[in-house]
Amino acid sequence: MKQEAAVDVRGLRKAYGKEDVLKGLDLRVEQGTVYGVLGPNGAGKTTLIGILSTLLAPDSGSVRIFGLDVVRDADAVRRRIGLTGQFAAVDEGMSGRDNLVLFGRLAGYSAKTAKVRAEQLLDAFGLTDAAGRSAGKYSGGMRRRLDIAAAMLVAPDLLFLDEPTTGLDPRSRSEVWDIVRALVDHGTTVVLTTQYLEEADQLADRVAVIGGGSVIAEGTPAELKASIGSGSIQIRLADPKQRGEAEQVLRRVLRTEARLHANPAELSAQVSDPRQAALALTELSEAGIYTHQYSLGEPSLDEVFLTLTGRSARAETLKEENQ
């Protein structure tokens, strides 16, 4: 028998007033995997997580968690999920310890067990020293850890993490990553949203890129990269003033748009074949454009993302023009 999907979303639509945020989104997450949802600010990631975690009602479409309907069986769904939202869901008027005791009791532990669990988690998440302080006075990283600890009181079968590391310093970020990996080893399915492509690359087994209200690309990080070309060439020019010319050469030789980096001497482009890259470099030097440095590599998810969103934006424009 095929295992029930942890998340199964079909034709999900959600609008706020007149603003359509999700326009027929499909998503399937297998049990025991880490699934990354990528999208820029305003793409609808938080809205999607809200619907998956029973906080928001979908307008239409079917949303199932372990085969349970999020609207009709909300209570049963809540028994199997944990949520760490974009903004920490902790009680700022209480101490860290009281927060964990509260959520432990609400999860169904006896008063005694709730206290034991609270201490265990405070210790595991490095919060014992701050346990007596009001959560409202915690730093962003501490609040986030408390929030994840609260979601872990009863190890959920499925954990939602909405931008778990946005606004965290690099150290806290890697701590959160460690937590996610530990959870997955433990058998929890994780759905996380992120704007950091590196994060999805580091953690996710599969990734969905959302844009324009639906999934515009889906697959393993490697598949996504492959789908838009096998690699990319990065070039640093000796003279930034020549970047416009260099861009034209690359476009002509590689038949793709070059991407201009923040550094005015740098640009990069997708290449499907390394031999073409060599050709491009030759053409550049023949045109009198000198390169300081160049490198050939796999495209970063960042580039995948820009290409995909660009592609979908073009598709949208075409659709509108055809109408």
Ligand X SMILES: Nc1ncnc2c1ncn2[C@@H]1O[C@H](COP(=O)(O)OP(=O)(O)O)[C@@H](O)[C@H]1O
**Given the rule CB under 5 A, which residues bind Mg ion?**
45-46, 86
As measured in angstroms, the least distance from the Cβ of 240 to another protein is 44
Question: Are the C-beta atoms of residues 23 and 5 closer than 8 Å to each other?
Answer: no
45 is a site residue for ligand X (CB under 6 A): yes
As measured in angstroms, the least distance from the Cβ of 294 to another protein is 38
Could you tell me the two tokens for 183?
Answer: 């959870």
Q: Which stretch binds ligand X (CB under 6 A): 15-23, 113-121, 147-155, 291-299?
A: 15-23
18 is a site residue for ligand X (CB under 6 A): no
Could you tell me the two tokens for 156?
Answer: 């959920």
| DSSP class of 134 | B
- Give the position of tokens 């006075």: 137
User: 6, 7, 21, 197: which one contacts ligand X (CB under 6 A)?
Assistant: 21
105 is a site residue for another protein (CB under 8 A): yes
User: 41, 72, 129, 185: which one contacts another protein (CB under 8 A)?
Assistant: 185
Q: Which stretch binds another protein (CB under 8 A): 152-160, 194-202, 213-221, 285-293?
A: 152-160
39 is a site residue for ligand X (CB under 6 A): yes
Question: Are the C-beta atoms of residues 52 and 9 closer than 8 Å to each other?
Answer: yes
**Helix 111-124 and helix 140-151, axial crossing angle in degrees, nearest 10:** 140
Question: Are the C-beta atoms of residues 267 and 243 closer than 8 Å to each other?
Answer: yes
87 is a site residue for ligand X (CB under 6 A): no
Q: CA 168 to CA 177: how far, in whole Å?
A: 12
186 is a site residue for another protein (CB under 8 A): yes
Contact residues for 294 (Cβ-Cβ < 8 A; gap 6+): 233, 234, 235, 236, 281
- Give the position of tokens 């490095």: 126
As measured in angstroms, the least distance from the Cβ of 308 to another protein is 30
- By CB under 8 A, the count of residues binding another protein is 51
117 is a site residue for another protein (CB under 8 A): yes
As measured in angstroms, the least distance from the Cβ of 175 to ligand X is 23
As measured in angstroms, the least distance from the Cβ of 42 to ligand X is 4
As measured in angstroms, the least distance from the Cβ of 13 to another protein is 16
82 is a site residue for ligand X (CB under 6 A): no
164 is a site residue for ligand X (CB under 6 A): no
272 is a site residue for another protein (CB under 8 A): no
Cα 287 to the center of its chain, rounded Å? 41
Look up residue 190 and give its amino acid. Answer: V
Distances (CA, A) of 304 to 152, 208, 318: 33, 12, 21
User: Nearer to ligand X by C-beta: 19 or 75?
Assistant: 19
Judging by DSSP bridges, how do beta strands 81-84 and 158-162 pair with one another? parallel
Across 17-108, the runs of DSSP E, i.e. the strands, are: 19-29, 34-38, 60-65, 68-69, 81-84
As measured in angstroms, the least distance from the Cβ of 86 to ligand X is 6
Question: Are the C-beta atoms of residues 192 and 203 closer than 8 Å to each other?
Answer: yes
Contact residues for 133 (Cβ-Cβ < 8 A; gap 6+): 95, 96
Residues that bind another protein (CB under 8 A): 50, 53-57, 75-76, 78-79, 81-83, 85, 87-94, 98, 102-103, 105-110, 113, 117, 120-121, 123-126, 134, 150, 152, 154-155, 175, 178-179, 182-183, 185-186
Residues that bind ligand X (CB under 6 A): 16, 19, 21, 39, 41-47
